Amino acid sequence: MKPIDPDFRQRVTNSFKRQTIMDLLGAELTRIDAGLVEITLPYRSDLCQQHGFFHAGVTSTIADSAGGYAAYTLFPPGAAVLTVEFKINLLAPAQGEKLVAIGAVVNPGKTLTICDVEVHAVKGGESRLCAKMQQTLIRRDGTEIDR
Amino acid sequence: MKPIDPDFRQRVTNSFKRQTIMDLLGAELTRIDAGLVEITLPYRSDLCQQHGFFHAGVTSTIADSAGGYAAYTLFPPGAAVLTVEFKINLLAPAQGEKLVAIGAVVNPGKTLTICDVEVHAVKGGESRLCAKMQQTLIRRDGTEIDR
Amino acid sequence: MKPIDPDFRQRVTNSFKRQTIMDLLGAELTRIDAGLVEITLPYRSDLCQQHGFFHAGVTSTIADSAGGYAAYTLFPPGAAVLTVEFKINLLAPAQGEKLVAIGAVVNPGKTLTICDVEVHAVKGGESRLCAKMQQTLIRRDGTEIDR
Amino acid sequence: MKPIDPDFRQRVTNSFKRQTIMDLLGAELTRIDAGLVEITLPYRSDLCQQHGFFHAGVTSTIADSAGGYAAYTLFPPGAAVLTVEFKINLLAPAQGEKLVAIGAVVNPGKTLTICDVEVHAVKGGESRLCAKMQQTLIRRDGTEIDR
């Protein structure tokens, strides 16, 4: 996939910094390529559901941003990305020392971009697919921020 | 809907307290009825995406718990609830002084329960539907915690 | 909900007639209101899955059209409707003398419209919710037919 | 992926023959491997939506069966497969001489199996991804046919 904007990495990095929730959770951007973004989230005991695993909403948060920024890498400067919807399957307990979400563009479109996001739980150094998301993003130009 | 366990409110309250992410976000249980649970999240500037709205993952987090606990109200003591999957549409910017997620059981089943969750953004006292989730939960008995 | 086009019923009826699959399955338009469309499908033994129930894909077909046309009732003349995506839960066996799909607009948008569709299985005169769909539609003007 | 039942191909073939809708649509089983099933559907003018493309419900029908049978290849004899839910994105017009749906198991589970299904539209000999499904299946043993 060919990015329109050669400075897409900088654009993603800047936008990610404005996502204040990432800082609250402790999530980090660990890879930015054209059509592919990875976000890593180290375990903390305040990110959990009732059994001590990462909460499904936390898993969804980094997955949503990984997919959204994967789409965003292919946008022109000045365009905004918004999530239209996503569907996520929780496949296995999200437990371990960290989660790694990898968002990849499946179908880049004029208006809508479809992404696939996998989240892996890394435990004792071993990685296991713990969630899978299929996501629809919309590109908005100028000042439109509604869907 | 008839709960099997008359102490379902206590069971939900106890489990919610163990969801450490709720405390981190500042989310509160504001209603527990048979088959219906509401969670409220006041605005904070550290819960946001790049435009200053609540992040879609934060919206999803309270929606997922509202639906999960709605299902859980109908479970017998000793059973656990896990999210199998959910799909969420973000309908409007999640902005305002608070979000209110209302999870309702649509179809209670022996193994699987289906819920509908609406999230409303309250801005200047006015409420607007900003997200809608359709969710599948699984009941696990005893010590099973996988899906 | 207020339709822009007073002739929306005629527009839906005409478009439905061009959906040749509806004729193959034997599906009929049984209600058209602003933001709400109902499609009814009588049982036939050639519409089934391996246990003799309506196939989930058949249920999805009438649900998708019911939701799509519900959105379409609110469009101006000349606009086209396309399904972006949908998610459907199959809640109970789709068995009985007929299926009734009711599509309703949840959030009408400039570009995207979100619908909720319920499918009821009518057996021995009793109706039971057998499927629930959450659907995203896009409005395309002029000759654009891509998403 | 290792099938428990060495006769899985025969089991899938027999079950597919009982899906009467496949015969009505003209769909054919074109590949059966452990954890992977392909269904092909030649174009016919009575399978269409209002613009003359394959109807999204028809696309969903073969995708649902491809994913369901992919899961079924890994089941023991005597077990049944039912669709819990699926989510499908329609990525491009489903036009051409045939559709090919490829269902693949992502996560085989004791109770639930998650599949990924891609549907390709073949036009003038060229194949294009036109739909993508993420699907949850349940295994039922004995005579249980509810979810």
| Total beta-carbon pairs less than 8 A apart between chain B and chain D | 25
Confidence tier at D147 by pLDDT (50, 70, 90): low
pLDDT of residue C25: 98
pLDDT of residue B135: 98
Segment D54-68, tens digit of pLDDT: 999 999 999 999 999
For residue D97, tell me if it sits in a domain. yes
Q: Which residues of D touch A (CB under 8 A)?
A: 87, 89, 91-92, 106-107, 109, 114, 116, 129, 132, 134, 136
State whether C107 and B116 contact (CB < 8 Å).
no
**Number of helices (H) and strands (E), helices first, in chain A?**
3, 6
pLDDT averaged over every residue in chain B: 96
- Could you tell me what percent of chain D has a pLDDT over 70? 97
pLDDT < 50 stretches in chain C? none
Cβ neighbours for A96, distance < 8 A, ≥ 6 positions apart: A43, A121, A122, A123, A124, A128
Q: At what angle do helices B56-72 and B8-18 cross, to 10 degrees?
A: 150
Q: At what angle do helices D56-72 and C56-72 cross, to 10 degrees?
A: 150
For residue C145, tell me if it sits in a domain. no
Rounded Cα gap, residues C139 and C82, in angstroms = 7
For residue C2, tell me if it sits in a domain. no
Question: pTM of this prediction?
Answer: 0.96
The count of structural domains within chain C is 1
Q: Which residues of C touch A (CB under 8 A)?
A: 84-85, 87, 109-112, 136, 138, 146-147
Cβ neighbours for D39, distance < 8 A, ≥ 6 positions apart: D22, D27, D28, D29, D30, D62, D65, D66, D69, D100, D101, D103
Exposed, middle or buried: residue D78 (CB in 10 Å: 0-12, 13-18, 19+)?
A: exposed
Segment C73-83, tens digit of pLDDT: 999 999 999 99
For residue B3, tell me if it sits in a domain. no
For residue B146, tell me if it sits in a domain. no
Q: Are D146 and D84 in contact (CB under 8 A)?
A: no
Beta bridge partners of C115: C105, C135
Element (H, E) at B11: helix B8-18
pLDDT of residue D145: 53
Q: Are C50 and D19 in contact (CB under 8 A)?
A: yes
**From start to end of chain A, where are the E strands?**
28-33, 36-42, 80-90, 98-107, 112-123, 126-140
Confidence tier at B21 by pLDDT (50, 70, 90): very high
Distances (CA, A) of B48 to A16, B63, C103, D105: 11, 16, 33, 35
Q: Closest chain A residue to D111 measured between Cα atoms?
A: A91
pLDDT of residue C1: 87
pLDDT of residue A146: 52
Segment B78-94, tens digit of pLDDT: 999 999 999 999 999 99
For residue C114, tell me if it sits in a domain. yes
Q: B: neighbours with 3+ CB pairs under 8 Å?
A: A, C, D
Element (H, E) at C122: strand C112-123
For residue D36, tell me if it sits in a domain. yes
pLDDT of residue A1: 87
Rounded Cα gap, residues D41 and B17, in angstroms = 52
CATH number at residue D83: 3.10.129.10
Question: Could you report the predicted ipTM of this complex, rounded to two decimals?
Answer: 0.96
Q: Indicate the DSSP class of residue C146.
A: -
For residue B2, tell me if it sits in a domain. no
Domain range for B75 is 8-140
How confident is the prediction along chain A (147 residues), in pLDDT tens digits per residue? 899 999 999 999 999 999 999 999 999 999 999 999 999 999 999 999 999 999 999 999 999 999 999 999 999 999 999 999 999 999 999 999 999 999 999 999 989 999 999 999 999 999 999 999 999 999 998 755 555
pLDDT of residue D1: 87
Q: Are B139 and B122 in contact (CB under 8 A)?
A: no
